[in-house]
Amino acid sequence: MIEVNSGSCCRHRQLHNGIHEFVFTQASREAVDEWFSCLLQTTAAAAPGTVTRCLVLSIAPDPLPVAYFFKRAQYWVRQAPPVRQTRVCFLHRSEFMYPHVKSFVRAWQLSYGNAVQFFAAGQRDEAERWLLAER
């Protein structure tokens, strides 16, 4: 594994298989800001025509601030490089899954090149297989 960026609230490293792993250690606005900042850098640095693959999980005891997460996601879609393909997989604990998250996912996938999927926390292998699939 290659360490890329270790924020105080969201750790980021690139795995040997090319997947960018993001681990939220806190459920705060600062953590969300760190993630989107790193995500913007990662997608901007990607070679044209490549797919940026992200595995996102939280070890924080509380859920992320969802409304703020949505707001930042909209900003990221506007600021991210115009030609990019991103596959994002969220590993979640069942008690943190919100019904309105599905609305966010539909909206995010409408922006060019994004695909998002959710897997239960114990399904990491399946999540990585989905990320590495050719679509």
The number of folded domains in the chain is 1
Q: What value does the mean pLDDT take over residues 102-124?
A: 73
By CB neighbour count within 10 A (0-12 exposed, 13-18 middle, 19+ buried), where does 104 fall?
A: middle
* Tokens coding 57: 């999980």
Read off the DSSP letter of residue 81: -
End-to-end, the C-alpha distance of the chain in Å comes to 24
Please name every residue paired with 57 in a beta bridge, in sequence order, or none if there are none. Answer: 23, 91
Domain that holds residue 67: 2-132
The 10s digit of each residue's pLDDT in 47-83 is 888 889 999 998 888 888 888 888 888 777 777 666 5
3 state DSSP class of 93: coil
Q: Are strands 85-92 and 51-58 parallel, antiparallel or unpaired?
A: parallel
- CATH code: domain of residue 106: 3.30.750
Q: In DSSP terms, which residues pair with 115 in a beta bridge?
A: 87
pLDDT at 125 (0 to 100): 96
Question: Is 11 within 8 Å of 23 (Cβ atoms)?
Answer: yes
Would you place residue 1 in the very low, low, confident or very high pLDDT band (cuts 50, 70, 90)? very low
Task: Check whether 90 has a pLDDT greater than 90.
Answer: no
